[in-house]
Amino acid sequence: MLPPRLLGSLLEHLLGRVDLSVLSPQSTYELNPEDDVDDLLEMLKAIAIPRISIGVQSFDDRILHSVGRGYSRRDILRVIEAVARHGFKSINLDLINGFPHHRELGNWKREIELLAPLFESGAIQSATLYMLHPFPRTRLPCYPADSYWQTRNLCFAREYLCDRLQLHEKPIYWFQKERAEPEEAFAPSFSIFGYGNSSYSSPGRWLLQNVSPLKAFMEHNRWSGSKSTLPVSRAFKLTPKQMQIKSLLFAVRSGSFRLRQKELDLMSASFKKEFQKFLQDGLLERKKDQYHLTEAGKIFAHQMPISFFDPEVKKNLHDYLESRFPPSTARSDR
């Protein structure tokens, strides 16, 4: 939301206090195709932001117009060209699968096929696919039956991007030129700090959420004695089992991970049972201590970690999903 001059001042202030070399090479600034990018890109290049992600969402002008986006495919290509011209070495595009127009496979195929010349020319280095998750009571409809054609679209995209363009999928739905190494399933988890209103933080065994209303967030007293604090409204401490779930969730969704026998031995009997079921059902394959999601496993990657949750949590998730669909439409689609 800030103009480039003020954003540059803020980032220079932060980077004057943070050693950029310890940050991930994936440290990213996300561009909106509506942005006036030239001054912004010059500033980002000057302070050594290594990676740019462009929130394309769709190349289809009909879709962009239907969801209130103020840009077109021509604007998207103009921004991609500008980012490449400024010499950024890592450029990612975000696309969303699941808009109503995507029920017709031809519409989705055209979107995915537009990525080929961008990868082949070196204009982009990765593309990330997201599923459309419309909130209840929005103008974008969402029904259980949609999962069939959305899954069909993902299968086409995966086959096209991996087989036709020879890209590597790591983590799930993130397609890139470079091959990535498997994750350690129970590697020490790094801490995440969120500073905006409603943001989440995850330091160690804690899950924190900041104050949501903007007015309350701005008025929150961030000083406690001699220490500065996050404007936290809710806090939850994870049990050891929940920490395992958190680690497994990230590991499974990464697509491939390493799980050593000594770590497997420490898992509860219910965890071991679920792992064995994944292997038997053909969702996971194992080679020594390396686990990889199969093609079927990649389709269900988001659902698989739920298997490790307590029965009460599963019931809450089921109740939430039930609440998203009016009974009249839900019954007919099921």
CATH of the domain at 142: 3.30.750.200
pLDDT, residue 22, reads: 63
Structure tokens at 316: 């809450």
Is residue 284 exposed (0-12), middle (13-18) or buried (19+ Cβ within 10 Å)? buried
pLDDT, residue 74, reads: 94
Q: How far apart, in whole angstroms, are the C-alpha atoms of residue 93 and residue 167? A: 14
pLDDT, residue 298, reads: 82
Q: CB of 238 within 8 A of CB of 207?
A: yes
pLDDT, residue 136, reads: 58
In a domain, 73, yes or no: yes
Structural domain range at position 281: 240-322
Domain co-membership, 218 together with 256: no
Domain co-membership, 41 together with 147: yes
Split into its structural domains, the chain has a count of 3
Mean pLDDT, each 10-residue run in order, the chain (334 residues): 83 77 72 85 83 94 92 94 90 94 96 96 94 71 78 92 92 85 66 83 86 88 71 87 79 83 82 87 91 84 76 70 54 39
Domain co-membership, 38 together with 150: yes
Domain co-membership, 133 together with 42: yes
Domain co-membership, 252 together with 223: no
Q: How far apart, in whole angstroms, are the C-alpha atoms of residue 202 and residue 193? A: 6
Contacts of 296 (CB under 8 A, 6+ apart): 281, 282, 283
pLDDT, residue 93, reads: 97
* Residue from 245, 262, 265 nearest 253 by CA: 245
Provide the whole-model pTM: 0.73
pLDDT, residue 330, reads: 43
- In sequence order, the β-bridge partners of residue 96 are 130
pLDDT, residue 18, reads: 73
Dihedral sign from CA coordinates of 278, 281, 283, 287: positive
